[in-house]
A and B are shown apart, each in its own frame.
Chain A
């Protein structure tokens, strides 16, 4: 079975479990945040992906890290993914889950990265603006990413709208090196 099919299968299974428990929105959001944390922390990624570490130890790490910050269902689902050896695919599974969940509500995911936490009012305005800009009904997933420095990076499907300071600095760097 191709990796993409497996990811899609796990995402579908988690979606059904979350739906059955009536916690689809919360689980989807928490898994999305966990996936981002997994992406940004190489130590966590290495620990959960290391085939030499026993599964129980990996589960212990997940419980310690997420136990107090996520729902029991989300922690159980992450442990399930870790126990079947799909740790390295956790971000992809979470993204696919978010996409599927949004698609069920006829929405598309807009991943928004900022250097600061956005308040609800800003999230609502940003959601409305991105919906108008892309012509799609978007569901916003906000991620705090210090590497953005300032401004916003929004990714809707394959479209990236980069208004970050880091992007502008890279443009300046390209201009300098092109001379």
Chain B
């Protein structure tokens, strides 16, 4: 509004200058003022009518585009966060499963080790028992062998002693006793 009023002020000023005499040299001609005013009006209308709406429209489109992009970015961010959470969950689940697998493997290894140790101990005990039995049998066999040898030697010695001590009289007594004993076998 001030812009529109400015020429009028100027015109009024010119009129005042004219009235004062020396200011006319500074003020433009009336015709020039009218032409300028008309040109200014034309430009003003042009700007007001087409340029400003177009600028407003461009600005609105620009604002809308930015808003859309912001919204899109927000969605992408949310989606990324969702994916991140999914990944974190999957990672946590994988870690849990890995831990379970490791625990299972450890338990299996423990059970296997316990089983193997038990079997090895049982086998070792069996071998020890067999060795004890063998040693006892060997000892018994050796003792039996010694006993047999002692008995054989004793018998041999006894035979020699008896053979040397049984004189003819004793021999005949033994034969007579045999004949008497035959009596108990009579059929």
Binding site for B on A (CB under 8 A): 114-116, 118, 122, 125-126, 129-130, 132-135, 146, 149-152, 161, 163, 165-166, 169-170, 172-173, 176-177, 179
Contact = CB atoms under 8 A, between A and B. Distances in A.
**Chain A's interface: helix, strand, loop or mixed, by majority?**
helix
Given A130-B182, A177-B151, A146 B163 contact: yes
A130 B170 CA distance: 21
B147 interface: yes
Interface residues of B, number: 29
Interface string B10-46: 0000000000000000000000000000000000000
**Chain B's interface: helix, strand, loop or mixed, by majority?**
helix
B145 to A, nearest CB: 10
Interface stretch (B90-98, B115-123, B124-132, B172-180): B172-180
Which 4 residue pairs across A and B have the least CB separation, nearest first?
A: A176-B151, A129-B182, A163-B178, A133-B185
Contacts of A173: 151-152, 154-155
B159 A169 contact: yes
Contacts of B163: 115, 146, 149-150
Given A130-B182, A132-B186, A134-B187, A172 B162 contact: no
A39 B150 CA distance: 30
Contact of A177 (B144, B159, B182): B144
Nearest to A122: B175
B175 A179 contact: no
Nearest to A136: B187
A165 B164 CA distance: 13
21 contacts: A116-B168, A116-B171, A122-B172, A125-B179, A126-B178, A133-B182, A133-B183, A135-B187, A149-B166, A150-B163, A151-B178, A152-B178, A163-B177, A165-B162, A165-B174, A166-B159, A169-B155, A169-B159, A169-B162, A172-B158, A177-B151
Nearest to B168: A116
A118 B175 contact: yes
Contacts of B172: 116, 122
Contact of A176 (B154, B168, B183): B154
